[in-house]
Amino acid sequence: MLAYIVRRLLYAIPILIGVNLITFALFFVVNTPDDMARMQLGVKRVTPEAIEKWKAERGYDKPLFVNPAVSGLSTVTDTIFFQKSARMFAGDFGRAEDGRDIAREIGLRMGPSLAIALPTFLLGLFVTVTFALTLAFFRATAFDFWGVVLCVAMMSISGLFYIIGGQFLIAKMFRLVPISGFGDGLDAWRFLVLPVAIGVISGVGASTRWYRTIFLEEVGKDYVRTARAKGLPETLVFFRHVLKNALIPILTGVVVVIPLLFMGSLLTESFFGIPGLGSYTIDAINAQDFSVVRSMVFIGSVLYIVGLILTDISYTVVDPRIRFE
């Protein structure tokens, strides 16, 4: 088991290097730092001196990969690639356009992101699994049919509609909760109720349908027929056998997103003014703050790879038949 985890971790290293190279190519080779400077300073009437100054302030004035001007190890380290890209492995993300340290900012904003994402994830999982189980229990009835119709309709509605509509109805019309904002400590719950509820509802359609098919697949298996043949009542068949076995693919399927919860949600956070990583990313995109976007791409990839490893481990933990050699 331990050897397996170590091997998976080693396998993650080339992938991370690949991600790093792709982001580097995207940010520095597609466009030269000169183009970025012109973008930030305004396209027209920019003096070459202003561009040079902008580049020097941010350390973009170095060569891309090899710096022949300095000697020793510095030929490789005193370059844009090493300074801006390779150092991300050590958790050094540099500074944003406004001069703040990105790593510190990320640490500060992780909390609010998690405060939204974690309840949404847990509550959403509970609601959808329950709903899907109910639909599967009443399979091939009118209830099941209309339930599926509802799911298809719900997944055809834009996520923006849930947010805009929910905000308008609950916060503006009924004035039950504040429209947006975030508070510290226990007081935060008033700000969290609506985004969490909207997050749960907007995910119901697609996941419920998916889980329902998993349940139905499980219902058709031989051990379920055996359980019924023993004379077990249908409710017991469902809760003791079907639920347990269907939870294996469901839970292992959601493990991959757990680390990504730290990243927060772009839309929800920006609509509700929550100072998390999602709104941080959106602000960076709108301000064309390349170093922040670059850092977020890297962190997102790291978290996704962690999720993949956790998924593989969870398979072996949940299902003893699976052994990775």
Partner 1 sequence: MTGFQVVVLWSDILVWLLVASGIGLGVLVARSPPLLAAWRRVGASRTGMASATVLFAFIAVGLLDSLHYRVALDGKPGQKVQYGVEVLSVLDALAAPLRTRNEKTYSEPFATRLYAKETMDVPGAGAVRDYPRLKHGGKHLGEREDEVAADAGFTALRGAALAFAVWLGLAGIAAALAGGGTAAVDGPGWQRIWRGDAGFAWDAVLLTLLLMLLIAVPLFWLSGQYHVFGTDKVGQDVLYQVLKSVRTALIIGLVTTLVMLPVAVLLGIVAGYFRGWVDDVIQYLYTVLNSIPGVLLIAAAVLMMQVVIDTHPQWFSTAAERADLRLLALCLILGVTSWTGLCRLLRGETLKLRELEYIQAAQAFGVSSWRIILRHILPNVMHIVIIALVMDFSGLVLAEAVLSYVGIGVDPTMTSFGTMINNARMELGREPVVWWSLAAAFSAMFILVLAANLFADAVRDAFDPRAA
Q: Residue 232 or residue 258: which is nearer to partner 1 going by CB?
A: 258
Q: How far is the CB of 241 from partner 1 (least distance, A)?
A: 22
**To which residue do tokens 């190279």 refer?**
21
Q: Residue 18 or residue 181: which is nearer to partner 1 going by CB?
A: 18
Q: Residue 155 or residue 243: which is nearer to partner 1 going by CB?
A: 155
Q: How far is the CB of 294 from partner 1 (least distance, A)?
A: 7
Q: How far is the CB of 16 from partner 1 (least distance, A)?
A: 8
- Enumerate residues 6+ apart whose C-beta is below 8 A from 97: 40, 287, 289, 291, 292
Q: How far is the CB of 172 from partner 1 (least distance, A)?
A: 7
Q: Residue 133 or residue 297: which is nearer to partner 1 going by CB?
A: 297
Angle, vertex CA 199, rays to CA 136 and CA 284, nearest 5: 145
What's the Cα-to-Cα distance from 104 to each of 58, 271, 290, 301, 304, rounded to whole Å?
Answer: 18, 24, 17, 19, 21
Q: Residue 71 or residue 156: which is nearer to partner 1 going by CB?
A: 156
Q: How far is the CB of 259 from partner 1 (least distance, A)?
A: 11
**To which residue do tokens 């406004």 refer?**
98
- Report how far apart the first and last C-alpha atoms of the chain are (Å, whole number): 9
Q: How far is the CB of 273 from partner 1 (least distance, A)?
A: 14
Q: With 0-12 CB in 10 A as exposed, 13-18 as middle and 19+ as buried, what is 147?
A: buried
Q: With 0-12 CB in 10 A as exposed, 13-18 as middle and 19+ as buried, what is 214?
A: buried
Q: Residue 141 or residue 158: which is nearer to partner 1 going by CB?
A: 158
Residues near partner 1, by CB under 8 A: 14-16, 18-19, 22-23, 26-27, 30-31, 35-36, 38-39, 43, 152-153, 155-161, 164, 167-168, 172, 260, 263, 266-267, 270, 281-282, 285-286, 288, 290, 293-294, 296-297, 300-301, 304-305, 308
